[in-house]
Amino acid sequence: MEFIISQRFQTLAPGLFQQSVEKMSLANLPSFASPEFHQRSTSPFASNLTATWGEFFNESHIDNDVNSISYGGWCGINEKTGQPASWDDGFDIQYGQFFLPGISTVVDFNAVDGWTDMFWASNYLFHQTVKSQRPSQSPFTRFGFSVQINNSFYNSGLAAIGRNDLIFGGTEARDAEVRNRIFPSCKSIFLLICCTADFLLHDDKAKQLQSICHQLHVLHACQITHQSHSYHPTSNSSKYSALLHNTSQLNQYKYNHLTQHLPSS
C-alpha cells in the first residue's frame, strides 16, 4: 500500500512529495507502514494514514499537521470483496461529497466513474465529508484515504534526536506493555487448565486457548486433553480442576480474560 500511494503522490506532485520525504528524514520518523521504529522504508513520506469507508462523514474542520497540504484518494469498492467498483458493477452510493465551505467548493465523487485524487490546503481550509446514502442490502461503499505527517509525532522525533536515554518501540513494545499490565505477576506461570468436562470435550476451544496463551508470550499452556467423549462431569472432577506450578492460584479475573472471547459451543 505504501508503494502504491507513494507512486501516485510522487507522480502528481513531485515537489510536495520530496518536501514530505525531507520532513520525515529530518525528524527521523518511520513510515505509517513500519510496525517498528527501526524498520524504515527507503523514502518514508508520511507518518499517518487515515482510511474511511462505510458511509463515513464528519464535521467541518481544519488540520494541524506538519504538511499544510494533504493528499488523498477516493473510489467506490465492493465491501465484500474489497475490489474497486464502477457504475457497470452497479455501484449505487449517493452523495458523500467532499465539501470545502470556506471557498464554496464541492468535490462530487459520483461525477467520476473511478478513482479520484485530490490535494487540498488542509491546515488552512475548513473541509468535511458529507454523509452518503447507501441503499439497503447494497454491497458497495466509498473508500477514502489521506496521508499526513502528524505534528506531535514530528516534534517528538525532533526532540529525541541525539538523546540516548529514550527507548523507542512499535507493536512489539506495545504488546509487551499490554501483557505486563494485564498479567503483572504471571511471567513464570506454567498453567494447566482443565476446568470442566464441558471445556475438555471441545478440543477446538482448548486449541484456541493455547493459541491465545502462546500469542501473549506470558502464559505457557500445556496440552489439554480428555480421556473420552463419554466422560461424565461429576466423575472425579477435582482431578481436572485448574493446577498451577510455581505460583499462587490464578485468580478468576485473569482466567476470564483469557476465555471471554472464545466462541460458545
pLDDT for position 201: 42
Query: Which portions of the chain are predicted below pLDDT 70?
Result: 167-171, 174, 178, 182-265
pLDDT for position 216: 47
pLDDT for position 17: 96
pTM over 0.75? The answer is no
pLDDT for position 133: 94
pLDDT for position 1: 84
pLDDT for position 158: 92
pLDDT for position 68: 94
pLDDT for position 219: 39
Positive or negative, the CA dihedral 87, 91, 94, 100 is negative
